[in-house]
Structure 1
Amino acid sequence: MVVTATRTALASADVLADVSVVDAETLARSGAVSLADVLVHLPGVEMTRNGGPLGTTNLYLRGGNTNHTVVMIDGIRIDTQSGSGGATCQAIPVGQIERIEILRGPAAAVYGSDAVAGVVQVFTKGGQDGFTPSVGVGVGSQGTRTLTAGVRGAEAGWRYALALGRETSEGYNIQPAAYPDRDGYERNTASLRLGKDLAPGHRLDATWVYSDADAGYDSTTSKSSANYAKDNRALQRLSALGLSWQAKWSDVWSTRVMVTRADDRYATLPAPGAVPSYNTQTQVDTVLLHNRWNWREAVWTAALESRQDRLSNAGTQPRDTSRTQDALALGYGAKSGAHSWQVNARLDDDSEFGQYTTGALAYGWAFAPSWRLTASVGTAFRAPTLYQRFSEYGFAGLEPEKARNREIGLKYSQQGHEFAVVAYQNRVSNLITFSGAGACASSFGCYANTARAKLQGVTLSGATHMAGVVWTASLDVQDPVDVATGKRLARRAQRLLKLGAETGWQTWGLKADLLLSGDRYDRVTDARPLLPGYGVLNLSATKALTPNWSLLLRMDNVGDKYYETARGYATAGRTAFVGLTWTGR
């Protein structure tokens, strides 16, 4: 079942959108530190990072900016109104995740502002029958240490899941040109899921996710800078809280009410002589009333949603700013023989920009056994962040970005053999960029609606099993460009190839992942690509030592390849990790 495509559960075979799912077993084998380290191996996804595993991370879906992707945890929207916006993916701990759904393509007709390139939804671990405690420890390169503990169960009508985690690392030198030091980090995480069946067909669920990180960094990539100082600290705290009530009134009609709050805080503690400290906090509150009707072999949905964004930042005037968005969203999905339809429309009323209407239309035709052709069109928008409007670099007259997408796809699926190809073109207008001095208070530069982008490409993906091995592959051939200049957007490759192989040998589970990326521009003003292409091979092995004990061995960047996803910021070389987990049965 897939939830993210339409905000209601649908069988994966009935979903017309371009969706990928990462299950619990894949997450357990990954041993990844952050969400981005998992997503980067999926079709249509690129990742850049300014620093180590907890450094500022950007996700590019189909070539879109990181602020063009909506990120949610159990239905709780995660976002920041500081800077250019976008979710802080590095703050979301993988250890508490059970499942991830990735929707590629505009989804503003379902989710409103920001869903220009796609949606990523994380589902945390929930309760299950019985009482299942677990404890895990791990050690790795660069002085990395991990400790996790949790319990899942169900009793007296309650379902519960509690997970705690701590990670520390001495790190590595993330800015080699600046200073030969090590930039370590530590992070404490927690998650809690509670569920209760109040009456037949009525269920109450609560979610809480918490992450508190402290990571080292150098203030610039150049030691010759006047503002240079090492041993600065970046503090990142994320708290997400959600409460939902689901009611099934009949076999035809069901309702879901959800109230959520996400709190994202970021601060820097500079070393003596460094640039001044920085502190920002974003709070996102949402209320959702979602209704679903199964009527006449179709699924009808109607939703009311209210969202309020608050920003507290010393660099904005006023320091505390906010805005609201109220929306009505309608949906219709049906299937008749070989034909399927999905229609969505949404009206958003923004307290600053007025009303914006978005829509999406998708069609699927199963023209032969195991084959299906899909086509869709959709529109989207993204409102400027409060920082982009009210900081010294901001301009209150900024307009929302607008997008118009069209795509066509072909998919084959039969007995574990899958193949898909999707071609898309997404045109973005009113694109907000940081350019030279203009209508803001700063002489350094200002945010302005100065660009248009065309995000187009083809994604091929497939999976098969042969000779006892499960093989997966994806190839992205894309051309995300600035329409005015014709130049490729910064830090995005034209070609991405991802290969995976998984098999069993005696009592071991073995997995290999290979990522090949083409060259990239670090900035759109560069005369040539300054970030060379690279290839990274990761290996992992798992083994059930006993019914209760399991072992994970992982080696990342086996070839010890030196590469950068952002100029001046090194990535880790070859690293190894060993994890041991005990699970009560």
Structure 2
Amino acid sequence: MNRLNMGRACARAGLSLVAMASLSAWAQSGAERLALAAAAPRLSEVVVTAVRAPQPLTDVLADVTLIDRDQIAQSGAVTIADLLARQPGVELSRSGGPGTATSLFLRGAETRFTAVYIDGVRVDSQSTGGAPWEAIALGQVERIEIVRGPAAAVYGSDAVAGVVQIFTRQGDGPFTPYVGIGAGNRRTGKLEAGFSGKQGALDYSLGLQRDMSRGHDSHPGSNPDRDGYRQTAASGRIGLRLNEAHRVDLTGTYTDMDAQYDGFLPGLDDHGLNRLATLGASWTAQWSPAYSTRLSVSESQQRYEMVPTPPYLSRTRLRNYLLQNQWKEGAHTFTGTLERREDHLVNAPIDQGRHQDGLALGYGYVAGAHTVQLNLRHDRDSEFGGQTTGGVAYGFAFAPGWRATAAAGTAFRVPTLYQRFSEYGQPALLPEKGRNVEIGLHWGQAASRLGVTLYRNRVSNLINFGAPGACLSPFGCFENAGKARLQGLTFMAAHQVAGVNLSASLDLQQPKNLATGTLLARRAQRLLKLAADTRVAQWRLGAEWHLASHRWENAANTSRLGGYGLVNLYASTTVARQWDVLVRVDNVGDRSYQLAQGYPALPRSFFVGLRWTGR
């Protein structure tokens, strides 16, 4: 699609959505919600991810999506990637069923361009690049925050397209135990149990989960068999308020995923063994009404092994040290952050490490119709030297219910240790760099909302897998051979009609490799997501409709993946005082489609879950 045609398509889509402003998005941008602050008291929620510190949602300028526990429970999603793929600006690619290699494209960007945190602990793979989405368990998640747009001026390397932060459950109120059980087709089963609570100055939570499925044949042309999975996950959190000014927190998560996949040799039962563990400790001090400090130390470890063939083992360890200071004075907020990150990769013959030291400064201003956010950061990498990034955003509420926003920012990601030191690597690779600009217009009144965001992110020094010759492998080498332009238009809208909540988002995007003029692989140019839910007697009923245009499997745009449309249905109710039931059917029409060539996605699936909570 050329630029003129894309503009025409965007204009037609804009007029269409304005005309049907009866549609909504469950997860709205911070700017949209600010416009509704006067009419919706619930908008006093606090967002942590946008500036890496607690911030009222009404003050947020970044394009933010919030997913709460109720939405997670109603989603019936098997994995966190499936849940995120239902949000605006997010697209999923997976080579098989749950547990197999998974990529999430935020605004059309590579999965490695999204920084991911679990309870403030950075998660990344120095082998594949990006978070191991297939190894992140969904069962113990309480809340998810998605920030679209570059955030390197706050977080340092990797946040070229945005940030996703996952929060596990935090204890509150009296001791509350829970037990859940679920079953579905293809011998799918789920068991979960845990408890949470708060007693005096101590709050606590602990959760355990076990998921399993016989699966489906994820690659019929390679190895006709069923490819199932087994996952065990646990999470825990302890918080202690020492006094009115000081608090300490300790968090930890663990996931062990064993997923079958189709390898290259028929008859072999290939498995991908993926383990992910996080541990974090933090101390927060409120020295005065204006001045606060946060100190945290954290570590994540990811281990991936393929068995029985070909033999492969990769281990990534990431340690992080953070000292953040915040000063609030009237309409002004100042932040200063010192951070150190240490990466280490063991992937034979690689046994390498590196570190980055960063200094970040931030300034926020909120008064009347004006909101300003400025950020500046300098990172010193042990291998690549100094990297400076910045971000500026402005919001203007020019009329009741209306707000315009504009933002610009720069970002970078240093090459992974595998991209530099494996047989496919080149030590001389340069960091990938991004430059993003975006504008938005948002309107809200009572239960109705409408938002439009136009963005363009240019990425230089893009690392691709190219021709052999510059590395040891005869099959190909990593190289800085590309430039990408990630541009698009996102519409989101909301309305309630006769007790029915309607929602919609439309993404029109053009993630293009400027060096070749082709579209980036496995990314659709058009994504439409519609949803509706209502209450009938004691039941909550909902439906979702997802449509995606065709994509290209390869960088040369010669192998086409067809578009698809999916319908999902769900129903939930409280069958007794402490018992809840959820029934969900995904891909109701049993549509055959592929997210990666040769790997059929899940056919029609149904699931029934029963949960007891000792309220």
The bucket for the TM-score relative to the shorter chain is over 0.9
DSSP 3-state at the match of 1:545: strand
Is 1:244 paired with 2:275? no
User: Within 5 Å, which residues of 2 pair with 1:326-405?
Assistant: 326-405=357-436
What residue identity is the alignment partner of 1:293? Answer: W
Cα offset for 1:228?
Answer: 4.6
Aligned residues: 570
Judge conservation of contact 2:175–2:197 (CA < 8 Å) in 1. yes
Match of 1:305 in 2: 339
DSSP 3-state at the match of 2:158: coil
TM-score relative to the length of structure 2 = 0.92
Judge conservation of contact 1:219–1:229 (CA < 8 Å) in 2. no
Match of 1:224 in 2: none
Judge conservation of contact 2:481–2:515 (CA < 8 Å) in 1. no
Is 1:568 paired with 2:598? yes
Is 1:42 paired with 2:87? yes
TM-score relative to the length of structure 1 = 0.96
Cα offset for 1:296?
Answer: 3.6
Cα offset for 1:335?
Answer: 1.5
What residue identity is the alignment partner of 1:377? Answer: A
Judge conservation of contact 2:115–2:158 (CA < 8 Å) in 1. yes
What residue identity is the alignment partner of 1:140? Answer: G
What residue identity is the alignment partner of 2:380? Answer: D
User: Within 5 Å, which residues of 2 pair with 1:224-303?
Assistant: 227-270=265-308, 275-303=309-337
Cα offset for 1:69?
Answer: 0.3
RMSD between aligned alpha carbons? 0.9
DSSP 3-state at the match of 2:55: coil
What residue identity is the alignment partner of 2:160? Answer: V
Judge conservation of contact 2:98–2:259 (CA < 8 Å) in 1. no
Deviates more, 1:229-238 or 1:554-563: 229-238
* CA distance in structure 2 between the partners assigned to 1:464 and 1:70 by the alignment: 32
Match of 1:81 in 2: 126
Match of 2:29 in 1: none
* CA distance in structure 2 between the partners assigned to 1:412 and 1:548 by the alignment: 40
Match of 1:61 in 2: 106
Note the residue ranges of structure 2 that are not aligned, 5 or more in a row: 1-45
* CA distance in structure 1 between the partners assigned to 2:219 and 2:135 by the alignment: 21
Match of 2:589 in 1: 559
DSSP 3-state at the match of 2:552: coil
Is 1:132 paired with 2:166? no
Match of 1:428 in 2: 459
Note the residue ranges of structure 1 that are not aligned, 5 or more in a row: 221-226
Cα offset for 1:462?
Answer: 1.2
User: Within 5 Å, which residues of 2 pair with 1:133-152?
Assistant: 133-152=177-196
Judge conservation of contact 1:426–1:454 (CA < 8 Å) in 2. yes
* Greater relative contact order (CA < 8 Å, ≥ 6 in sequence): 2
* CA distance in structure 1 between the partners assigned to 2:545 and 2:142 by the alignment: 23
DSSP 3-state at the match of 1:320: strand
Deviates more, 1:402-411 or 1:6-15: 6-15
* CA distance in structure 2 between the partners assigned to 1:389 and 1:335 by the alignment: 44
Judge conservation of contact 1:48–1:57 (CA < 8 Å) in 2. yes
* CA distance in structure 2 between the partners assigned to 1:106 and 1:538 by the alignment: 32
Judge conservation of contact 2:518–2:557 (CA < 8 Å) in 1. no
Is 1:186 paired with 2:230? yes
Judge conservation of contact 1:217–1:230 (CA < 8 Å) in 2. no
Judge conservation of contact 1:134–1:149 (CA < 8 Å) in 2. yes
What residue identity is the alignment partner of 1:260? Answer: S
- Which of 461, 471, 489 is the matching residue for 2:492? 461
Cα offset for 1:414?
Answer: 2.4
What residue identity is the alignment partner of 2:135? Answer: A
Cα offset for 1:89?
Answer: 1.1
* CA distance in structure 1 between the partners assigned to 2:524 and 2:371 by the alignment: 34
* CA distance in structure 2 between the partners assigned to 1:240 and 1:489 by the alignment: 32
Judge conservation of contact 2:521–2:557 (CA < 8 Å) in 1. no
Judge conservation of contact 2:519–2:557 (CA < 8 Å) in 1. no
Cα offset for 1:229?
Answer: 4.7
Cα offset for 1:48?
Answer: 0.4
- Consecutive aligned runs of 4 or more in structure 1 exceeding 2 Å deviation: 227-230
